[in-house]
Amino acid sequence: MGTINDHLIEIDDIPEYPSSLYLAHEEVCNYTCTFCTSRVSWRKEPPEVRNAGYEAITEKLKPVLPHVKRISAHGRGELFCARGILKTLSEWRPLAPAEECSASLETNGSLFDAEHWKQIENLGQYNLRVAITVTSFDEYTYRLLSGTTLPIQQLIDNLHFVRSLREKGIINHLEIASVVQERNFWQMPEFARRCVEEFGADTVRLRPYLVHGSNNPIRDWFTDMRGAYHPYREEYRQIMQDPIFQHPKVLDWGGGRDSQTPDLLPFLIRREKVRAIKVMTAEILKWPFRKAKRLLNRLRFGI
C-alpha cells in the first residue's frame, strides 16, 4: 500500500519487551463448528505434548506481561477453555496506567457466565472490547453449525449477562458476529435485529463464508450461497435487501455481492482433480440409464 516507510523502525529503537500481546496459540474449543479452520482433531501431536507446549508459553510470557499495554485473546479456539491464556490474562498487571491499557477478547459465548467471567474480571478496569461469535439463535441451526449439544438458551442467558457488563461500562464495546452461510442466511435479518435490540451490541459483524478448505469441496461449494451458480443465490440477495442491513451498527462484510466461487465442476477441478474425474465418470455412466428412464416414463405416462 506504499506505506512501508511509516512502519519501519531503527533496530536500536526496538524495545526490550513488546507493548502488544496477541494470544491465539492455545487451540482448544468446546464446539466443533462445521466451518472451523483450527479444529483440534486436525492436530497430529499427542495432547500431553501440546499441553506441555502451552504451559511453556505461559511461563515464558510472565516476565513480558507487566510491559504489555494492549492484550488480545483468541480467534483460534475458545477463550474460556484455554486454561493457559486465561491464566495469563488473569495475571496481567500492567506497569502503565489503566487508562493507557486495553484488552480485546473473542469468544463463542457459550461459557461466558458470571462464574467464568470472575477468572478474568481484572480486565474490566481497562478499555475492554468483546466479540462474541454466534452461528444462530435457532436451536437446531445453532447445534448443527456449532457442532454442540448445548442448549441455545444457555448462550442467550450468557448474552444477557454480557449485556449487563456492557451497561455497567465494564465492557466498553460489544460486538456480536456470525459467519453467514447456506444454513443460516435466511435468519440474518432477525439475527441482526436481536443482536442490536435484545443484546445491546455496539456492532453486528456479518462475515460471509469463504471457501477456504474447512470442508470437503462439494460441501464447501454448497455452503457459499453467494456463488453466482448457487441455487440459493437469488434468495440470499433478496434477504440482504432487508433494511436492517443499512442499520449503522450492522456491518455486512458480504454487501449482498456474489463471491468468486465458480460453478461446481470448475470448482471441483480446481480443488480436487481426482474427485472431479470420479463425479464426471459417474455422470457419464448414469446418463444412458437416465435417458432410458425418461423414455420409459414418456411411454407409460406420456410425460
Please report, as ranges, the residues that interact with ligand SF4 according to CB under 6 A. 29, 31-33, 36, 38, 77-78, 108
Which residue lies nearer to ligand SF4 by CB, 23 or 101?
23
Smallest gap from Cβ 283 to ligand SF4, in A, equals 34
| Rounded CA separation 156/110 (Å) | 9
Q: What is the CA radius of gyration of the chain?
A: 24
Which residue lies nearer to ligand SF4 by CB, 36 or 192?
36
Smallest gap from Cβ 37 to ligand SF4, in A, equals 7
Smallest gap from Cβ 33 to ligand SF4, in A, equals 3
Cell numbers that stand for 213 in this block: 478448505
Which residue lies nearer to ligand SF4 by CB, 113 or 258?
113
Q: Which amino acid is at 4?
A: I
Smallest gap from Cβ 29 to ligand SF4, in A, equals 3
Is 114 strand, coil or helix? helix
Smallest gap from Cβ 67 to ligand SF4, in A, equals 29
| Rounded CA separation 53/60 (Å) | 11
Which residue lies nearer to ligand SF4 by CB, 33 or 174?
33
Which alpha helices (H) appear in 147-272, and where do they start and end? 152-167, 188-197, 217-223, 233-239, 264-271
Q: Rounded to 5 degrees, what are φ and ψ at 241?
A: -80, -10
- Note whether 140 and 165 are within 8 A (CB): no
Which residue lies nearer to ligand SF4 by CB, 23 or 29?
29
Smallest gap from Cβ 91 to ligand SF4, in A, equals 24
Which residue lies nearer to ligand SF4 by CB, 20 or 32?
32
| Rounded CA separation 98/78 (Å) | 26
Smallest gap from Cβ 214 to ligand SF4, in A, equals 9
| Rounded CA separation 108/131 (Å) | 8
- Note whether 55 and 82 are within 8 A (CB): no
Q: For the chain, percent helix, then strand, then coil, each to nearest 5?
A: 50, 15, 40
Which residue lies nearer to ligand SF4 by CB, 51 or 122?
51
Cell numbers that stand for 13 in this block: 529503537
| Rounded CA separation 66/167 (Å) | 29
- Note whether 107 and 123 are within 8 A (CB): no
Smallest gap from Cβ 42 to ligand SF4, in A, equals 11
Which residue lies nearer to ligand SF4 by CB, 177 or 250?
177
